[in-house]
Structure 1
Amino acid sequence: MKRLAAFVVGAVFGLTLSWSGMTNPDVLRDGLLFRDAYLMLFFASALGTAFVGLRVLKLLQARALLTGEPVAWSTVRPEKRHVVGSVLFGVGWAVADVCPGPIAAQLGQGIPWALATLAGLVLGFALFSRRSAAVAG
């Protein structure tokens, strides 16, 4: 059941990214360069929807559909790792004109340059895992 749910959510997310133009590097570049407000308005609407929706779910004491756990979260103070991670993510996004979600959607659309971006993503994960293991051990 969980795999089916993950597939459905992933498919809807990928279709939304494709339909909205978020797999198009020109759309992303124009948004990141503040030439077009579409990208930022898209993000703002998603953030607003999630902000209100999660608070309503928490107020109603809703439970997650797949796990049955209560909808809840905890807040943490921003740390150095959050700032460094956000800067790295932003730089990578600006260089590649894509973030992880659209990479999968681009692959599904058969866009060949997504393979190079995916390779960079996998390399980044591998380097992070190697570094984390070295620090921990």
Structure 2
Amino acid sequence: MSRSPAFALTIVLGGVVFGFGLGLSQMARPEVVLDFLQLQDMGLLLVMGGAALVSGVAFALAPRLRDRAPLTDDPYERRLKSFDRNVLLGGVVFGVGWGVSGLCPGAAYASLGIGNLPVLWGIAGMFLGAYGHAYWRSVRATA
């Protein structure tokens, strides 16, 4: 499928704005995230609440204003996913990793952008975990 040249530009600009927002809100600093998770600094609750509000409005209004996505021309549709053991296990692994390290993938990359190079250990762990999961699933699928 061929995509509009504006598609790649929009993705890059969206990533830059997202990373800038993470840096500005201090969500790219693992120690701030850990303080939030320990209920010592609730400032990030406003950041996440604002993001959820903007996303909710966009998801509610976009299908009413247009019947297709502007850059991909794909129709807007709901994709319902089943809630199963894999979803629960993935959420637990993500939550434990976030709680122990203060890092999620987006914030980890933004943390590199603000000069926090020790976060490379966390990013390496994310890649190792993703590779291990893919390997485990491929072995399970062939068995």
Please give the TM-score of this superposition, normalised by the length of structure 2: 0.87
Identical aligned residues as a percent? 32
Separation in 1, partners of 2:8, 2:82: 33
Do structure 1's residue 10 and structure 2's residue 45 form an aligned pair? no
Is 1:67 aligned to residue 36 of structure 2? no
1:113 match: secondary structure: helix
Please provide the CA RMSD for this pair.
Answer: 1.5
Unpaired segments of 5 or more residues in structure 2? none
Alignment-derived partner of residue 106 in structure 2: 101
- For 1:76 and 1:103, the matched residues in 2 are separated by 27
Number of residue pairs matched? 137
Q: CA deviation at 1:86?
A: 0.7
Q: In structure 2, what residue type is equivalent to 1:45?
A: G
Distance 2:75 2:57 in 1: 17
Q: Distance in 1 between matches of 2:115 and 2:67?
A: 39
Preserved CA contact (<8 Å) 1:61 1:70 = no
- 2:37 aligned residue: 32
Unaligned runs of at least 5 residues, structure 1: none
CA distance in 2, matches of 1:48, 1:57: 14
Q: Which moved more, 1:42-51 or 1:9-18?
A: 42-51
1:84 to 59, 84, 89: 89
- CA distance in 1 between counterparts of 2:8 and 2:36 reads 34
3-state SS, counterpart of residue 113 of structure 2: helix
Partners of 2:137 and 2:53 in 1: how far apart?
Answer: 34
TM-score normalised to structure 1 length? 0.90
**2-structure distance, mates of 1:99, 1:3:** 23
Divergent runs of 4+, >4 A: none
Does the 8 Å CA contact 1:103/1:114 hold for their aligned counterparts?
A: yes
Equivalent of residue 135 in structure 2, options 123, 130, 135:
130
Q: 1:67 to 1:38 in 2, by over 3 A?
A: same
What's the offset of the Cα at 1:71?
2.4
The one-character-per-residue Cα deviations of 1:16-67 (angstroms, maximum 9, x if unpaired) are 1101111112220111111222222321221122122211111223422220
Q: Which amino acid aligns with 1:130?
A: Y
